[in-house]
Structure 1
């Protein structure tokens, strides 16, 4: 019998004072049996990085259940794919194909081998519509500690500093844009 996904719910209030973006998001995420809580929380952070209150169509995909899909994607009102967001260290060819299909592609890299992966990814560096963001290991470990099946979170962004707060703890998120 196949293992089923575990459902996580996150109510997150975002106060981005740098870009004057404020919003409340009620998210439901399915955690694949092979997915870690760390990766689940990185997907949540990726959503927060690319979501705006008027960003209709940004959604989590089947991702690990469907290998041809990213962690998140966004469609416009006509159904056209406009944004493709990968989490982790994806295959260069998958990212290249995605960059030909939609306006914007983003990769949120994390883990101890992320820097090596990016240095070896020469094809990515030639793609103009691809951005690569990296999360520090300390950040992913800190947000993993905030993970529960039902999360109420506050994300404050000010002067480039991200702080994710729950009732029990908080985590400072360190982003670095590589491309």
Structure 2
């Protein structure tokens, strides 16, 4: 018998002063049985950093044809495809062909460095792809915020971001840009 996803609820308040985006989102997040708290919270942080009224969670680990997050226009075309973790270069290339913009948010310290060295040559040719690597320890700190029912606040100002809850100190979401999108 297959294990079922665990459902998490998050009330997310976003104050993104860089993009002038201020909104509250009621999120329902399905955590795949093989997914860690860290990965789930990185997905929530990715939502907060890219928030839009049409941004939604894909099936992620449950479906290889969907990203962790995506933004579709009103015709169903994919404007933004967001992957969390360390996808292989074929998956990134496929996403680059299907979406106007692709963002990969890697995490995991040394394992991310090794992953990037393995895919870098092929991914650097993809013009509409950007790759970010979370600073070592950020994913673990985000994982500490995980609860079945969460009230989270995300603040973005001057290129810096923090995610917090009433029960925990704010977590600074810091990253390194490994590859910017061409023209950015």
Is TM (by shorter chain) over 0.5? Answer: yes
- Which residues in structure 2 correspond to 1:118-129 (within 5 Å)? 118-121=116-119, 122-129=121-128
Name the residue aligned to 2:38: 38
Hey, what does 2:133 align to over in structure 1?
134
Residue of structure 2 equivalent to 1:89 = 86
C-alpha deviations, 1:9-29, integer Å up to 9, x for none?
111111112222211111110
Residue 75 (str. 1) matches residue 72 (str. 2): yes
- Whole-Å separation in 2 of the counterparts to 1:102 and 1:164: 27
SS of match in other structure, 2:75: coil
Deviations along 1:7-51, whole A, 9 cap, x unmatched? Answer: 001111111122222111111100000100000001111111211
Give the whole-Å Cα distance in 1 for the aligned partners of 2:128 and 2:17: 26
CA-CA distance at 1:105 after TM superposition: 0.8
Counterpart position of 2:115: 117
Residue 98 of structure 1 aligns to a residue in which SS? helix
Instruction: Summarize deviations over 1:35-74 as a string: whole Å, max 9, x none.
Output: 000000011111112113xx42x21111111122211112
Out of 103, 107, 115, the residue aligned to residue 106 of structure 1 is: 103
What's the TM-score once normalised by structure 1's chain length? 0.93
Structure 2 CA distance for aligned equivalents of residues 60 and 13 of structure 1: 17
Q: Does 1:158 align with 2:128?
A: no
Could you say which residue in structure 1 is the equivalent of 2:142? 143
> 2: distance between equivalents of 1:17 and 1:51?
12
**Once the 2 structures are TM-superposed, how far is the Cα of residue 160 of structure 1 from its aligned partner?**
2.1
Unaligned stretches of 5+ residues in structure 2? 180-184
CA deviations over 1:101-121 (Å, ceiling 9, x no partner): 121111010012112211221
- Separation of aligned partners in 1, 2:175 and 2:21: 18
The RMSD of aligned alpha carbons is: 1.2
Paired residues, what number?
Answer: 176
Q: Which structure 1 segments of 5+ residues have no match?
A: none
SS of 1:126's partner is coil
Whole-Å Cα distance in 2 between the matches of residues 147 and 70 of structure 1?
Answer: 21
Deviation of residue 159 (structure 1)? 2.3
